[in-house]
Amino acid sequence: MIAVLVRVLALTAVYLLALTSLAPGDVLVGLLLAAGIVAAGWYTHRRDRPPDRPPGTSPGGRLAGVPALVGGTVIDMVRASWQVAGCCLRGRLPAPGLVSIPIGASATSAAAWGVRVGLAPDTIVVEIDEQQGELLLHVLDARDRDAVRLAQQDSYQRRQRRVFP
**pLDDT at site 99:** 93
Element (H, E) at 99: strand 97-102
Summarize pLDDT for 34-55 with one digit per residue, the tens: 999 988 887 776 655 554 555 5
Mean pLDDT estimate for the chain = 84
Residue 57 backbone phi and psi in degrees, to 5: -100, 10
Summarize pLDDT for 106-151 with one digit per residue, the tens: 777 888 888 888 888 989 999 988 788 888 999 988 899 999 999 8
Instruction: Tell me the C-alpha distance between 161 and 53, whole Å.
Output: 13
Instruction: Tell me the C-alpha distance between 161 and 112, whole Å.
Output: 10
Say which range, 16-20, 52-56, 93-97, 127-131, has the weakest mean pLDDT.
52-56
